[in-house]
Chains A and B, each alone.
Chain A
Amino acid sequence: MKSESNLEKVLSAGHFAFTGELGPPRGTNAEEVRKKAAFLKGNVDAVNITDNQTAVVRMSSWAASLILIQEGLEPNFQMVCRDRNRLAMQSDILGASAHGIKNMLCLSGDHQSFGDHPMAKSVFDIDSIQLIGMVKQMRDEGTFLSGNKLDEPPKMFIGAAANPFAEPYEWRALRLAKKIAAGADFVQTQCIYNMDRFREFMKRAVDMGLTEKCYILAGVTPLKSVGMAKYMAGSVPGMDVPDELIERVKGAGKGKAAEEGIKIAVEQIQEFKEMEGVAGVHLMAIEWEHRVPEIAKMAGVLPRPVV
């Protein structure tokens, strides 16, 4: 075992993993974190804690992760390259590990121009692939990026993100291979709506032998409304929402869009359970944490394995 994290144990035991996501509050409201966590408890194997998502300032990812640990859940600590240089990253990794955080997701981070401080100076001292490599080096070699020895390596299960939908498509699996070569143990994908394209991506990943080296969790975000579907399709970079899907949510009729969105998500999860190379699902039900229990139930991923 690399980290002894629950997520690692679930995956290495061959179970179909199911992870959730939680966005920290825009303030010190720890209660809000606990409330959201309560919906996820027992329904997921680990919970991603976003790191200043969309470049908007929120409670720090490691701090909200600690609240989750107190609540008896396992966090997946996200870290972006936008806000920290290599010194701050390494010290946060050590601190997170010392406090019992065992999973980490390494990301580039949305550009600051999207957020609430668009004129901030971004860092990007290292990029997400280099971050993956750095965490691996700290864990496996017990050294800092500088090469100096560190006292007690951080035992992290290292995650990366993959976007199967951004052009050039041929590059997507190659980039995934790069992240795995850097040291990613697991990968969570961008929200999937275009199933055809995802099937192709997975086939490529399987053919390249990537699924032997790394666990791939398929990203799912239920569509709450027609508006959200259109927004995702038009305004979120790197997102691919086919028209048929928007039509389907529209066709559900007034007041029923959310139910239809959940139905679609459940169907997707059921297909992922059967799809070659897919090791689990990452459910990103942003500000919809209270619906996670029913989605998990309908998708038949409960009870979660105890390992």
Chain B
Amino acid sequence: MIVAKRKPFDEIKDFLKDYKKVLTAGCGTCVAVCLAGGEKEVSVLNAELDMARRLDNKPIELGAITIERQCDREYLEALDSMVEGYDAVLSLACGAGIQFLAERYPEKPVFPGVDTTFIGVNQDVGWYEERCRSCSSCVLGMTAGICPVTMCAKGLYNGPCGGTNKGSCEISKDQPCAWYMIYERLSKQNRLDNILKITPVQDWQNQKPRTVIQPGYKTSENSAEK
């Protein structure tokens, strides 16, 4: 899932300083699971904003809604009738959701309430770890299911580097060395030959905006060459 962190309160408050009626829009998918932008986080943030603005003698009227997914038109539609009545929208969705919302209401100022942080896993309630940088050419098959792009501090394709330190990465004793783990796991699976050959230079595919059209879903509208 996509993991996000709530933005510092002062930053959010500053975004909204000139608005009197704001809709806080949560997203019920990734950011809700990682406890950053779901229904509950919307009500906490609104309570904070309400109190802070009262203390400033500049009361604010706040609406709240959490839709299933802000990155999907089908669900965004539910906002159409609401957004009109507000001066601005504060979205707690991930960066993609916020943009999709802003795109739908181009006249309306839209602000981010979270910092979108990574694609990761749920280690425990409230504890998430990054696992993928969406490089567009996954090498997990070669690396025993451990991502060198994300988990190696230098994103090496032919690791480990000389800094690997008894299983830890050179950057910190608390950071496991991805390539040490890759070596260990491949070695146990008798697949070390995977990394004996040189992995050639990558064709980076994440250096410009990407579009995916799944096979069988081409239309005259979406198939313009990108």
Q: Given contacts A111-B170, A171-B160, A190-B162, are A130 and B200 in contact (CB under 8 A)? A: yes
A129 contacts B198, CB within 8 Å?
yes
Task: Establish whether residues B154 and A127, one from each chain, have CB atoms under 8 Å apart when the complex forms.
Answer: yes
A109–B156 alpha-carbon span in the complex (Å): 11
Interface residues on A, range: 35 or more
- Interface flags for A136-164 (1: CB within 8 Å of B; 0: not) read 00000000010000000000000001110
Whether B183 and A237, one on each chain, are in contact in the complex, defined by CB atoms closer than 8 angstroms, is: no
Asked if residues B157 and A166 are in contact (CB atoms below 8 Å), the reply is no
In contact, B154 and A108 (Cβ under 8 angstroms): yes
A171–B183 touching, CB < 8 Å: yes
**Given A111-B170, A113-B171, A133-B198, A166 and B160 touching (CB < 8 A)?**
yes
- A265, B161: Cα distance in complex, Å: 26
Q: Which chain A residues numbered 164 to 197 have a C-beta less than 8 Å away from chain B?
A: 166-168, 171, 174-175, 177-178, 181-182, 190
B-contacting 9-mer, from A38-46, A118-126, A268-276: A118-126
Q: How far is the CB of A107 from chain B (nearest CB, A)?
A: 8
A182 to B158 Cα, complex, angstroms: 11
Tell whether B166 is near chain A: CB-to-CB under 8 Å. yes
A 235-260 to B, binary, CB cutoff 8 A, 1 in contact else 0? 00110000000000000000000000
With a cutoff of 8 Å between Cβ atoms, the chain B residues found around residue A171 in the complex are 160, 183
**Residues 69-108 of A contacting B (Cβ, < 8 Å):** 81-82, 86, 108
Which residue from B154, B168, B187, B199 sits with its C-beta under 8 Å from A82?
B154
The answer to whether B165 has its CB under 8 Å from any CB of chain A is yes
Main secondary structure of the interface of B (DSSP, over half): loop
A174–B196 contact, CB under 8 A?
A: yes
A167 in complex: contacting residue of B157, B166, B170, B201, CB < 8 Å: B166
**CB-CB < 8 A to B168: which residues of A?**
237
**Residues in B whose Cβ lies below 8 Å from that of A178:** 158, 196, 198
A285 part of interface (Cβ distance < 8 Å): no
List A contacts of B159 (CB < 8 A). Answer: 127
A237→B155 CA distance, assembly (Å):
18
8 Å CB contact of B163 from A110, A145, A175: A110
Q: In whole angstroms, how far apart are the Cα atoms of A242 and B153 in the complex? A: 28
Q: Contact string, B150-193, partner A, CB cutoff 8 A, digits 1/0? A: 00011111111111111110110000000010011001000010
Q: How far is the CB of A117 from chain B (nearest CB, A)?
A: 15
User: Is B127 among interface residues, defined by CB-CB distance under 8 A?
Assistant: no
Task: Say yes or no: A130 contacts B157, CB within 8 Å.
Answer: yes
B204 adjacent to chain A (CB < 8 Å): yes
User: Are B201 and A111 in contact (CB-based, < 8 A)?
Assistant: no
> Quick check: B198 and A181 within 8 Å, CB to CB?
yes
**A53 on interface, CB distance cutoff 8 Å:** no
Most buried by A among B153, B162, B201: B162
Question: Which residues of B have CB within 8 Å of A237?
Answer: 163-165, 168, 170
A134 touches B154 (CB 8 A): no
Give the most central of B159, B163, B167, B192: most A CB within 10 Å.
B163
CB distance from A284 to the nearest CB of B (A): 14
Q: Does A19 contact B (CB under 8 A)?
A: no
If the complex has contacts A108-B162, A171-B160, are A126 and B183 also in contact, measured as CB distance less than 8 A? no
Q: Is A128 close to B, CB under 8 A? A: yes
Least Cβ–Cβ distance between A232 and chain B, in angstroms: 13
The reply to whether A111 and B154 form a contact with Cβ atoms under 8 Å apart is yes
Min Cβ gap A211→B in Å is 19
| CB proximity of A304 to chain B, nearest CB, Å | 28
What 1/0 flags go to B193-223 for Cβ under 8 Å of A? 0001011111010000000000000000000
List the 4 shortest-distance A-B pairs measured between CB atoms, nearest first.
A163-B162, A237-B170, A129-B158, A237-B165
B residues bordering A, Cβ < 8 Å?
A: 153-168, 170-171, 180, 183-184, 187, 192, 196, 198-202, 204
